[in-house]
Every structure is written in C-alpha cells, then in structure tokens.
Structure 1
Amino acid sequence: MLKFLSLALLASSAAAHMVMSYPPPRGSKSSPPIDYDLNAPLGDGKPFPCGGKKASKVTATLHAGTHLNSSLLDAPGANFHDGGHCQFAVSYDEKNWVVLATVIRECLRQDGLNYDIPIPIDIPQADRATFAWTWINAEGNREYYMNCADVKIVSNSNSFSGPELFVANLPGYPTIPEMALVKPAKDGRQYLTDGARKTITVSNGNQPTATAKPTTKPTTAAPSTAKTTKTTKTTKSKKTKSSKTKKSKSKQA
C-alpha cells in the first residue's frame, strides 16, 4: 500500500505559502512543538536546513522501490508565486542531502499539484532519516522554502548515490532572479539539470562521500493520478503527454 505525501497550502494573514502535510513535518501538530509559521520561507530565525528544527518522532515509513504519491492541496487565498523549482530529498545526517526528484519551473504551476516521488530501490535502510521538500518560488521576494519530516526507511541497501540538494536565495548561496524576468536558461534551472549538481553517495552509517559519476540516474517527479480540490494539469517526465496534452518541461533530478 502506497503512502501519501501531501504538500498543503495554508492561508496566512498576508499571502499563503506552502507547507508539507505528509509526511507530517517537524513543527506540525503531529510533530510538535507546533510552529504556527511553518509555511514561512527560511531566514529570519529559520536557518537551513529544516528551519533549525531538531529531530522529532518518526511520522512515516518509506519503502525502497515504491513511490510516494505527492498531493498538493489548494487553499483559499493561496499564493503560488507563479510556481518555481521543487526538490524532494533525503538525508541521514542533515549535512548531506540527496535529491530523489526534481520539478523544474512548473512546480505548483502547469505541472499541477500531484507528483509521484520515486523511492529508489537502493536507498539506504534507516530507523530514522530526514525527508525534505524544498521550493524556489518563481516570483516575489527571493525565497527558499523547506519542510522536513522524520521518516523510517525500509530497504536492504546500505548506500545510495544521487544529486546533491541545490540551495538558493540564502546568504552564501546563489540568488535566483524572478523567473519571468530572465530567459529560461538563467532562471535557476542551470543549477538543476543533469550533471549540474554534484553527485554524492550517502550511507546509513552517516558517512557520505563524493563520487565522480552518479551510480543512480536522477529522477524527475512524475504526476500522480490522485485528485485534489482543484482541477490541475499533470505531466510526466521526458515530454510525455498529460491529461490535457500539455508537455512538461521538468528535467531529471
């Protein structure tokens, strides 16, 4: 039985942003202490990674070789910031983050609100690991959003290689301009396409090492068939037709 990963939109007094609802992230009701500003971007007392939140109780179990059905739920007054780039990643020490799936530019936009996040067959087993969702918004203040959840991973593997998580719009990291104001090649995707990110290998011994070449091909998040409260267009990786015959421009992780 597939578990469900949901990213829900929460409305605030200003503009609503995004927050991961499944697996329940640190700071949610299921993983206290509660952070009533959980949908805020990093910065202003919320450092990278995870907004500075410490490990809490395990709130979900991931199984190697399956998928998480990622569902983004709409909420009144939500601000999608014209979409942007999303990454889904895992870490065993919160210093080294390996990306499982990437959505380039169309996250929360043309790609819709549903994605299947592949859990690699060789992802390392762990009684506790950290799963993260990140978002680089396309318009508005230059921000970087990140929610983290404590998860258990069921697998027979001890190591896994993949692209390193890309961080932006924070001190010491690249600043991505508003995406509509620049050519696509300069909207941040140059940091996310195949080969742009360093490949690292992580193990459940929490001793990641750099590798010269990836041993596991990066994966692009594919659309899910799950329904949301808003009718959306879904796309598949590598230019397959969607339910509305639109093509996704998402690249691989």
Structure 2
Amino acid sequence: MREPPQDSTSRPPDSPRATDVVFTADFASTRQWVAGRSWAYPGGGPTNPADNKLDHLVSDPAYSRQGRFLARRRPDGRWNAGLLTTEESQEGFLVRAGDVLEARVRLPREIGAWPAIWTWRDGDQEIDIFEYHPDNPDLLELSNHIRDTGHYYRHEAISPGAWLDLRVEFGARSVVWWVDGIRAFSDGRGVGSRWHAYLIVNLSVCAGRYHPPPQDGVNEMSLQVTRLVVRRPRGRTAH
C-alpha cells in the first residue's frame, strides 16, 4: 500500500448535510447478516490461503453473532474464525456513494490477529474501513482498493486491546477516514457516484508471509464491535 501525505486535524467529524440512519448492525439478525461465507474468499470459503490466511470460516453463532468475532486454533493448524457479511442476506444491505459508516471496535491483542471491517462486491469494490496487525501496535491500515490508494495511520491511541471510534465517508470524489474524531486520511480519489458494495466484518489470522503468525500457546483471539451504523444523505433510498 502506498503511504500518501498525512491529512489530519483534531476537529470532530461533523456532517454538512442532514442524514438518516439507514442501517444499524444487529449481528444476531440472520436477515441482516450471513455468517461463515463470503465470495471475497475463493468459492465462498471456508479458506483463503492465497491471501496468506489461516482462517477456516465457520457459521457457528458463537464466533460472530454477539459482535465478538472469535478465532480459535484447530488441531490441523488452521483457525476457526468468525465472519459476517450482508452479501446474500435476506435484506442484502449495500453501502453507497455518499454514505457515512460509524463503528466502535476493540482491537485484538494477539500477534497474528488480522481484524477488518470492509466492503466487497463482484470480486472488487473493496474499501477497508480498517485493518490491524498487533505486531504494528500503533498503526491502522486504511485503504481504497478501487483507486489503489491508502494510508498507514499511526497514533498513540491505537494499541492492542484499545477501543476506537471509526468513521468513514464514502465520497464520490474522496474517501475520508476519521479515528477517534481525528481526520486520519482523505484519499482524494473517492469511489465514484455509482459505487455500492456489501459490508464484511471479520477476524482473519495471519499465516506468516506478511505478518507473524500466532505464537505457540495462543489458542484464541477476538475482535469486538459494539456499534456499526450507516448514515445516508436525507432523501436517498435505502437500497
């Protein structure tokens, strides 16, 4: 990922336009979310070794349905892991250009954890609200893969086990990321006016090529997401 210049202010992220909440995550809802499969993984999963992941996706509600996304070591060396997506759910919610996503998360502590909130549709349309690796303890990865832009954002508030408030504005001309009320990055490229994509929340596990794998004796890790909402400029349709 390229590292463009820092674009950071300390003012709170106020929206200049009236917005409506069009999506409030209820991770227990089987109408909102599908558990344990995603077409972002080859064949819909359950594994994705080409991305150097040890995940083995499971639909067991204990791994994702309480907003606590778990990964647990398996006897075969892989990790059962939780993933939820709005893709192919009954409601089929899509984030759209102009939307604003807000989330509150608690980062994992364990080396090898690879948590993320991101978007996906038809093999592309990926915006990473955040990715995190505890071996880079003070750094979040913020990426617009559609336009090949991104930023490594460092801050003392970012650390293993930390709570963070995240906000992403999916602008047609610029995607803007906020972390704890600080404007962390504006990519100046955007998503285009017709962009739309599904949401994914998951906890992957690193296999060692890009980041260290889990240490011996570590058998469980978790990502917590206590709030995830999407706001939309007033007057636009919800789907």
Structure that is richer in strand per residue: 2
* TM-score with structure 1 setting the length: 0.25
